[in-house]
Amino acid sequence: MKFRPSSLTRILIILFTSVCSFTQSFGFVDEATEPIVANDQELQIEKLNAELIESLTRQLEEKIEIDPAAGAKAVSQYSERGDSLMFLGEFEKAEADYLKMVKLKPELDTSHWRLGIAMFFANHPRQAAEQFDKYNSFDNVDRENGIWRYLSHYRAFGKDEARRQLLRYEKDDRPPFKEVYRLFDGSLTEEEVLKAIPDDLPEASRESRSFYSHLYIGMNQVVEGRTDDAKISLRMATLNSWPRKAGFGPDYMWHVGRLQYLELQKVKAVTK
């Protein structure tokens, strides 16, 4: 005999789910519901990751052989293979392929932000900081580059030195980076960064700002060693559907958030 919930029970379930979804969208979950929500989110990411690994592994098998003498074609192939390796968590191999791109086409060096991120994840923070310095000479408006430079300096030299060397920007940047950047100089809190997202934005704009805010709040929490807080923030970024539909750059950064979250999950698995 199957249990059939009453109308009142069904309404209560719908209300509970709606409240959880609303609080999740802002990154705020109360202590009673957090374990339930976290477990559900972890399962969603595990399923998503399994599907991605299968797809990316197939793509990588098609990119095994690259002839460096092929010129522009080889540069493109190293780029594509580097991305696949990066998204599979093979950070040092991704870094190596990105470096091969630069060797074949040196003019790519200053704008190669993906190389800097691969260096960061490969635990080469000093080299990463140098790469983001080069990018700043290419684009001195992009605060997202300044964020990665700060994170790299934090890993290499500590918080005080990272703040001392924080780049200063005079021109406006795309939202929400002006607000997010202030998190790193200490002039805004995490809560203030999230509250700075206007309520009346179109859905895509709101999801965009929410994604980048959660991503970089999470990355800051990572370098500060606040693992549990970082997991919550990076789960929110990973479960945001906007970047996967928004083009190459946002999709790449979505993978970055997913990968960092999975790295934190590995630590949890080892310490159990």
pLDDT tens digits, one per residue of 90-114: 999 999 999 999 999 999 999 999 9
What is the pTM (predicted TM-score) of this model? 0.84
- For residue 18, what pLDDT is reported? 41
- For residue 22, what pLDDT is reported? 41
Higher pLDDT, 34 or 64: 64
pLDDT tens digit string along 202-242? 999 999 999 999 999 999 999 999 999 999 999 999 999 99
> Is pLDDT at 193 greater than 90 in this prediction?
yes
CB of 98 closer than 8 Å to CB of 82: yes
- For residue 38, what pLDDT is reported? 73
Q: Supply the DSSP string of the chain, one letter for each residue.
A: ------HHHHHHHHHHHHHHHHHHHHT---TTTHHHHHHHHHHHHHHHHHHHHHHHHHHHHTT----GGGTHHHHHHHHHHHHHHHHTT-HHHHHHHHHHHHHH-GGGGGG-HHHHHHHHHTT-HHHHHHHHHHHHHH-SS-HHHHHHHHHHHHHHH-HHHHHHT-----S--STTHHHHHHHHHTSS-HHHHHHTS-TTS-HHHHHHHHHHHHHHHHHHHHHTT-HHHHHHHHHHHHT-SHHHHS-HHHHHHHHHHHHHHHHHHHHHHHH-
pLDDT tens digit string along 239-251? 999 999 999 999 9
> Is pLDDT at 185 greater than 80 in this prediction?
yes
- For residue 34, what pLDDT is reported? 62
CB of 264 closer than 8 Å to CB of 67: no
CB of 83 closer than 8 Å to CB of 114: yes
- For residue 31, what pLDDT is reported? 55
Higher pLDDT, 11 or 230: 230
The span from the CA of 67 to the CA of 103, in Å, is 14
> Is pLDDT at 28 greater than 60 in this prediction?
no
Predicted confidence band of residue 68 (pLDDT cuts 50, 70, 90)? very high
Mean pLDDT of 116-142: 95
